[in-house]
Amino acid sequence: MLNSLASGWKSIGHMVPVQRDSGRSSWSRRAVAFLGRQRLVWRAAAFAKSRMRTRRERFVRLEANARRRSRRIDGIRLARRPETEAMAQLVARLGYDGRIRHVRDAQYFAWRFRNPLHEYRFLYAGERALDGYLVLQRYRAGSDAARVHISDWEAVDTRTRETLLEAAVTWGEFEQLRTWTASLAEGDRKILHRAGFVERPGSSPAGWDRVLVRSLRAAEGAEWALAGRPLLDLPSWDLRMLYAMSG
């Protein structure tokens, strides 16, 4: 990040990541860490840690809970594949507020969800004409594989957004569920807060949760702008994890 800033890039601000931790998994991590420090049981603790990592790197619990009648959430379904046309139609129905963002059409969605480094699951409200969707993403390997991200989240109304988030939290029982909030509406931030999401300052490497931009043609000293919107003004942007390399 420092090298980029030195070469002319500028930061538009912090993405304000929030995270919801599973109390049960936090207890398990502490227990395994404690056992790993004990002389006679450290091998067993290492094995347990490996087993925990293997299980949490998959959407096993999410899919199992979604199939159970006792865990049913009316109007919400889980899928492994993106319904790109329906998702793009919903985005078009919701309209454009003028902020800088990617064009989320069917072609973009199809390209995005072919990323071989990531695994996705899709929560949908509605059938052919969607009323909402929530995209869950995780890395297939690496130290961050235990963390699941809300990559994108759209709906026609607040109730549908809340229900989609409820399904993700209830079915997933994720160790860590994380998303960005810098450009979310205040109502959406309140939904996340009620669901147990809190800001985690300092939980990422320096610069990881910032977006850098650079103007390629602005005159020296001129304001950087796109379609009349100042590039360095955070409210000019609609920023989602979907648009980032980690999305």
Residue 179, amino acid? T
Round to whole Å and give the CA distance between 22 and 49: 16
Instruction: Spell out the residues 6+ positions from residue 29 whose beta carbon is closer than 8 angstroms to its own.
Output: 52, 175
The candidate with the shortest Cα–Cα distance to 242, out of 165, 179, 195, 187, is 179
Which residues pair with residue 100 across a beta bridge? 237
Which pLDDT tens digits describe the chain residue by residue (247 residues)? 889 889 989 999 989 999 999 865 555 555 555 555 656 665 655 555 544 444 554 799 999 999 998 899 999 999 999 999 999 999 999 999 999 999 999 999 999 999 999 999 999 999 889 999 999 999 988 767 778 999 999 999 999 999 999 999 999 999 999 999 999 999 999 999 999 999 976 555 555 678 899 888 877 778 899 889 999 999 999 999 999 866 6
What pLDDT sits at residue 33?
56
pTM: 0.84
Q: Which CATH architecture has domain 2-23+57-243?
A: 3-Layer(aba) Sandwich (3.40)
The predicted structure's pLDDT at residue 54:
45
Q: Read off the pLDDT of residues 183-204 as tens digits, 9 standing for 90 and up.
A: 999 999 999 999 999 997 655 5
The helix (run of H) or strand (run of E) holding residue 176 is strand 176-180
Token digits of residue 108: 């973009």
List, in order, residues 6 or more apart from 164 with CB less than 8 Å away: 76, 123, 125, 132, 133, 134, 153, 155
Q: How far apart are CA 137 and CA 82, in angstroms?
A: 12
